[in-house]
């Protein structure tokens, strides 16, 4: 892979990972270096393969959400949500407005939590240990909310076919208001910690440039694509769970594209935290009355057929294809995860950068290895 450079300069080979603080999971990079410069980088995955898709064919429908949410453990709501939407398409169930509103709320909460965790890894990759602690402190608030609502802090198993597992608990809405009130001023603090810090911005500028054409040709979605000027947001393009109300808001608050570099992706995430907080503060007061879960038949069977549904996860388009033969067990489950398409552009992005930039660039892409390997 480094043959074209072999004649002119001396290169050497090095493995980067799979252990180490690069991404959220064991990602290995096979790197050819020339001094401190990256000549070629080739990602190698599969260290976290658990065979989730195959295991799904052995479990009953009701057991699937608890498995699917482990595909991307940082935004587990979105996985279960996509699965539930697909199964509901097959079963032709209409979800009550209350359940939809609750789904939207937890979806946005999870997005904020995931983006704050992204800021943590980003700060860590740039050597800002203290800043990362500050971000984790704020993520705790959202974890507390989830603990209040679902009883769990990371793997919620909350969204299910027919609605959500349990109704909104007492005091949840007030506490969500408090959390929004707490987080909104903190965004100013994030700006101070990240974008007003010259060391931080100078080392992220002009590193890891992701071109718009690459986003389109490799079908890169989510915050990375939006930071590069490719507006692909499932929430706005094919709304679900009542995102129709916020379609205009999402399309309006696009960040102007400047460099499409690591810093832009960082800014995009902070912007999306702000967006999600806005959506949350509107939606949390609009939760209608009604049932939170539809009554389903006791036999747990799903009608024969196939369905595909997509949601906007914290990392982009998350799709679930389900195929049922009419029994208790799924015929086939196939997942479309956003991080996998990112891996295809990693070699191009890293090429020419310095070794010092590699952790920053990889962290800025917010690659979730668990959803690539699944």
Partner 1 sequence: MIDLQEISPFSYYISTFMSENLHPVFVLGVSLVIYFIPLFYLSVAITTYMGRKTAADVQMRIGPNRVGPFGIFQYVADTLKLFLKQDSVVNNRKAWLHLAGPVLSIAFTLMAFLSIPVADQWYLANQKWSLLHVYLLMVAAQLFLFFSAYTSGNVFGVLSSSRILVAIAGFSVPFLLSIFNIILVSGGSSFVEVLAIQGGAPWKWMLFSYPTTAISFFVMYCSLLIWQGAPPFDILDSEEEIFGGYSVEYSGSRKWFIEQLKSLQLILSCYLLTGLFLGGGHFPFNLETFGRGAQAIQSLFFSLKVFVLVFISYWIRWSLPRTRLNQVIFFSFKVLIPVSIVGFFLTTVWLALFNGKGIGNLL
User: Between 250 and 279, how does the x/- string for binding to partner 1 read (CB under 8 A)?
Assistant: ------------------------------
Reference 250, options 270, 267, 231, 269; nearest CA is 231
Q: Please tell me whether residue 182 binds partner 1 under the rule CB under 8 A.
A: no
Sign of the CA dihedral 192, 197, 200, 201? Answer: positive
Q: Residue 195 or 219: which CB sits closer to partner 1?
A: 195
Least distance from C-beta 126 to partner 1, angstroms?
Answer: 5
Residue 264 contacts residue 225 (beta carbons within 8 Å) = no
Q: What length does the chain have?
A: 374
Phi, psi of 162 (to 5 degrees): 100, 0
Alpha carbons 344 and 252: distance in angstroms, whole number:
30
* Binding residue for partner 1, selected from 197, 212, 259, 291, defined by CB under 8 A: 197
Under rule CB under 8 A, residue 127 binds partner 1: yes
**What DSSP designation does 224 have?**
H
* 125 near partner 1 (CB under 8 A): yes
- Tell the smallest beta-carbon distance from residue 14 to partner 1 (Å): 4
Q: How far is the CB of 12 from partner 1 (least distance, A)?
A: 7
Binding of partner 1 at residue 133 (CB under 8 A)? yes
Name the residue with tokens 């999306």: 272
Choosing from 1, 6, 36, 231, the residue that interacts with partner 1 (CB under 8 A) is 36
From 110, 19, 27, select the one nearest 370 (Cα to Cα).
Answer: 27
Does the protein bind partner 1 through residue 350 (CB under 8 A)? Answer: no
Cis omega (within 30 of 0) on the bond before 152? Answer: no
Of 116 and 149, the one with the shorter C-beta distance to partner 1 is: 116
Strands 37-44 and 316-324: unpaired
Question: Can residue 55 be called a binding residue for partner 1 (CB under 8 A)?
Answer: no
Residues that bind partner 1 (CB under 8 A): 12, 14, 20-22, 33, 35-36, 123-131, 133-134, 137, 197, 199-200, 202-203, 354-359
């Amino acid at each position: 892979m480094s043959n074209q450079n072999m004649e002119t300069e001396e290169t050497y080979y090095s493995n980067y990972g799979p252990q180490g603080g690069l991404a959220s999971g064991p990602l290995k990079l096979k790197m050819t270096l020339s001094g401190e410069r990256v000549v070629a980088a080739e990602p190698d995955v599969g260290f976290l393969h658990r065979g989730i898709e195959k295991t799904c064919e052995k479990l009953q429908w009701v057991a699937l959400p608890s498995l699917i949410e482990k595909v991307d453990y940082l935004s587990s709501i979105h996985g279960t949500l996509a699965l539930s939407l697909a199964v509901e398409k097959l079963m032709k169930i209409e979800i009550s407005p209350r359940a939809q509103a609750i789904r939207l709320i937890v979806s946005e909460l999870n997005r904020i939590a995931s983006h704050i965790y992204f800021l943590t890894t980003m700060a860590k990759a740039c050597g800002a240990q203290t800043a990362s602690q500050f971000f984790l402190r704020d993520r705790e608030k959202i974890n507390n909310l989830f603990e209040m609502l679902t009883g769990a802090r990371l793997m919620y198993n909350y969204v299910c076919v027919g609605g959500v597992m349990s109704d909104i608990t007492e005091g949840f809405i007030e506490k969500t208001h408090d959390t929004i009130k707490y987080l909104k001023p903190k965004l100013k603090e994030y700006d101070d910690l990240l974008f007003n810090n010259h060391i931080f911005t100078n080392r992220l500028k002009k590193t890891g440039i992701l071109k718009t054409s690459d986003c389109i040709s490799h079908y890169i979605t989510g915050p990375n694509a939006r930071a590069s000027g490719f507006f692909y947001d499932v929430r706005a393009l094919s709304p679900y769970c009542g995102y129709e109300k916020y379609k205009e808001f999402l399309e309006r608050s696009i960040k102007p594209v400047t460099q499409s570099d690591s810093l832009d992706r960082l800014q995009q995430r902070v912007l999306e935290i702000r967006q999600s907080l806005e959506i949350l503060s509107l939606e949390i007061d609009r939760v209608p009355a009604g049932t939170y879960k539809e009554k389903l038949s006791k036999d747990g069977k799903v009608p024969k057929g196939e369905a595909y549904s997509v949601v906007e996860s914290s990392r982009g388009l998350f799709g679930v294809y389900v195929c049922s033969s009419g029994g208790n067990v799924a015929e086939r489950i196939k997942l479309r995860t956003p991080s996998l398409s990112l891996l295809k552009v990693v070699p191009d992005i890293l090429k020419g950068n310095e070794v010092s930039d590699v952790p920053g660039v990889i962290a800025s892409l917010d690659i979730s290895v668990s959803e690539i390997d699944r």
